[in-house]
Structure 1
Amino acid sequence: MQQYIARRGDTVSRIAARHGLTPEHVIQGNPWAGRQPYLYPGQILFLPSAPRRRYSVQEGDDAGLIAALFNVSIDELEMLNPGVTSGRCCIPGKVLVIPPAASRSVVSVRSEYGPDDVEEDIGKLVAKYPFVTRDSIGASVLGKPLHLLRIGSGPRHLHVNAALHANEWLTSPCLMSFIEQYAAAYDAGRAWHGHRPEEWHKHWTLWAVPMANPDGVELVQEGVLPGQPHYEELLQWNCGRRSFRHWKANIRGVDLGDQFPAHWEEEQARRGVPGPAPRDYSGPAPLSEPEAAALAALAEQYPGDAAVSLHSQGGEIYWNYRGYEPPESKGWAARLAAASGYRAVELNGSDAGYKDWFIQRFRKPGFTVELGIGKNPLPLADFEDMALETGLILGAILSNLK
């Protein structure tokens, strides 16, 4: 067992991922960690040694075959099993130690995906694919950058945002993963699930805000400590609860999904939430929050031909808004549903969302996509399916050249 002292930003999942463990391994050695909502800096944990995979060499095996089987490099295999590349240790029945598989993707999710992860992955993506550019559309309440990624050079504009609701943070790596896969396929000149990324790049410009509510995401994932901004207010707004895993709003307790000037007053009255809260407080005025105002300003600067706001959960696609949507929206929604296996839903009785405002303002197709099924925050195990479904939906839009 090794001793580990928790630092700010640590979670059980993040510690486990860094040490080649599962969260269950960490909690098994530190049962108290499973009984409190968050780890606090200075707490001491005892971590077991990382379990190692082993493999018994089969007839006909060589180092290359074994490395390929477990998605590791031959050098890594040799480091743990000296002589395996020469054949001296690669004989049937010999037990080899298999190193951890390295992810070949920039975007991978092994623990909570927060603002620092977005920052790091954006840096890697733009370094690897220079035709992907980065910018910022502003800053959150606490000054965190609202990152913007752009890919494509076409005359049509698609706006996509994710993690507008704090406890729906898993939508953020889903969007980031699609951008990486798009960039990789375009760079290699190959198709992606039957689509042609070179056509996407020629006809569309994709504007992506992968984490629209970074303060809220960090609050959900890490909680709040004495001395941090809004500490007393957050506990009050959260009814004294220390866990913020149910929190949807930004750090000021404003639900960014109810912040846009599309019948905002009616939504405010319908919600009936008079002040800051974990969810459903529309704020003192439309676009009062810098995160919502920045998204609206981006769309005004580069008027979109379509927009998607990624949420979770439900496996549904909302496509209409009070009859403001153009005639083609219903057909687009049907194609997106067919591509993803989701259900296209005509939604009524909801206002002031990003999709609502976009449709009303530009009279162009806009969609709210509810990724996955379950209870937010959705589990990490759902990431790969959700990321694929995100890509299939966005790919269907980008392949629509009419």
Structure 2
Amino acid sequence: MKVKVRSGDSLEYFSQLFMLPMHLLLDANKMTNDTILEKGQTIQIPGFEIENRIIGQNDAFWRLALHYNLSIDALLLVNQKRNPNSFEKGETVNIPKRMIKPIIHGQTFYDSALLETDIRKLVEMYPFVSTSTIGQSVRGNPIYELRFGKGDLKLHYNASFHANEWITTPILMQLVNTFLLALINQRTIRGIDIQSLYNRVDVSIVPMVNPDGVDLVLHGPLESERAQLVTYNGGSSDFVGWKANIRGVDLNNQFPAKWEIEKERKIPKAPSARDFPGNEPLTEPEAIAMAQLAKERNFHRLLAFHTQGEEFYWGYEGLEPSEAYSLANEFERVSGYRSVQYIDSHAGYKDWFIQEFKQAGFTLELGKGINPLPLSQYKKIYHEMLGIFLAAMYV
């Protein structure tokens, strides 16, 4: 929600008026302190939206304020009025409405267009969240990153490396929404103080690494791609089990962590629906973007959301740091997922991250069954992952 500054207004006053933490107002407006505001300046108030209401016969202004749990001056501010008596019957009034419910409803078929819409909603509602494009897919779709937090602990979460694991994207987006909603309303989650976590972490979210692949699974191929993709798909026009990017390369087999071993032993030796690691490491724009992001940011912890198995992997060649053991124990406790230190696998994003940076990396296998997992598992997976999502911030 945006408001126009009046004479004498300050961020401190807005903080009191809307019962918001001062640091969130500063972050939402890209300010470092409560500098003097200029009359007419636009200020963003996070966690609020405008609701329109027509003044009725019996609508006293003070009754409106009471009904919406607002001060009269908050109503005057958003309506650019000086006197509550200046409102007339039939006039449309702007009501600043606090957001108390999620705006992400992820239990649906979740493609790249819906992701873009939801990112726009989140950033508009919570303007202290920044968004950027870290690269583009083969088709030219943007690969989005969300970022929030004011701390020194640099965390990264990603989802949908694999196309038929697209359910990981709405799960991750709803986890972010839950965190932001609790933050703005100064609530705890499972007894955890979200304000303190926000001040402890610097969070990076890439919710859909493989937008082309996700769209292929959910909508089928573009006509110009159909013949080639059917060939990659073994002659089938059913793409529901497609795992790779749109060029038939498995993005989570693209990283230079003993990539040659995976190249040698993987059965597909050419572009395919799954498991082809490419002809060289880091040939695909999606994988290149993710590698560049990690190099630029120097993350302390990385969590990659995949499906399925209700387990997670956290070691690589003995290079993982000692804190990974403590994190794994906590992840296992809060989720019920099985902790697995080593598996016979190479060339994954988590493998490369641990190898390159000697920091804690995790591949999380959400849910259980055959990919793509059914939406009937959504709520169960969400509650299992909420504990892990938060534990990565506080351990």
Q: TM-score, normalised by structure 2?
A: 0.73
* Counterpart Cα distance in 1 of 2:123 and 2:136: 20
Runs of 4+ in 1 over 4 A off after TM superposition: none
Match status 1:164 vs 2:161: yes
CA contact (8 A) 1:132 1:183 kept: no
* From 115, 118, 127, the counterpart of 2:124: 127
Query: One-letter code of the match for 1:106?
Result: I
Shift of residue 344, structure 1, vs aligned partner: 0.2
Q: What does residue range 141-180 of structure 1 map to in structure 2 within 5 Å?
A: 141-180=138-177
Query: One-letter code of the match for 2:204?
Result: W
* Counterpart Cα distance in 1 of 2:264 and 2:124: 47
Question: Could you say what secondary structure the match of 1:262 adopts?
Answer: coil
Q: What does residue range 105-120 of structure 1 map to in structure 2 within 5 Å?
A: 105-120=102-117
Match status 1:256 vs 2:248: no
Shift of residue 152, structure 1, vs aligned partner: 0.5
The aligned residue for residue 191 of structure 1 is: 188
The aligned residue for residue 392 of structure 1 is: 387
The aligned residue for residue 275 of structure 2 is: 280
The aligned residue for residue 338 of structure 1 is: 333
Percent identity for Structure 1 against Structure 2: 43
Shift of residue 110, structure 1, vs aligned partner: 4.6
Question: Could you say what secondary structure the match of 1:281 adopts?
Answer: coil
* Counterpart Cα distance in 1 of 2:351 and 2:107: 34
Deviations 1:168-194 (A, max 9, x none): 000000110011111111111111112
Deviations 1:331-372 (A, max 9, x none): 211110111110101223100001001100110110000001
The aligned residue for residue 241 of structure 2 is: 246
CA contact (8 A) 1:262 1:360 kept: yes
* Counterpart Cα distance in 1 of 2:332 and 2:186: 27
The aligned residue for residue 349 of structure 2 is: 354
The aligned residue for residue 24 of structure 1 is: none
Shift of residue 242, structure 1, vs aligned partner: 1.0
Shift of residue 330, structure 1, vs aligned partner: 1.9
Aligned CA RMSD, in angstroms, stands at: 1.2
Deviations 1:237-282 (A, max 9, x none): 1111111111100000000110111111111112132110011100
The aligned residue for residue 182 of structure 1 is: 179
Unpaired segments of 5 or more residues in structure 2?
1-99
Shift of residue 225, structure 1, vs aligned partner: 4.4
Question: Could you say what secondary structure the match of 1:141 adopts?
Answer: coil
* From 310, 317, 325, the counterpart of 1:322: 317
* Counterpart Cα distance in 1 of 2:386 and 2:287: 24
The aligned residue for residue 39 of structure 1 is: none
The aligned residue for residue 217 of structure 2 is: 220
The aligned residue for residue 137 of structure 2 is: 140
Deviations 1:361-388 (A, max 9, x none): 1101100000011111111111122122
Query: One-letter code of the match for 1:213?
Result: N
Deviations 1:106-152 (A, max 9, x none): 11135310001100000000111111111110110000000100011
* Counterpart Cα distance in 2 of 1:196 and 1:320: 30
Match status 1:294 vs 2:289: yes
Question: Could you say what secondary structure the match of 2:252 adopts?
Answer: helix
* From 364, 367, 372, the counterpart of 2:359: 364
The aligned residue for residue 231 of structure 1 is: 226
* Counterpart Cα distance in 2 of 1:243 and 1:129: 39
Count of paired positions: 296
Question: Could you say what secondary structure the match of 2:173 adopts?
Answer: helix
Question: Could you say what secondary structure the match of 1:207 adopts?
Answer: strand
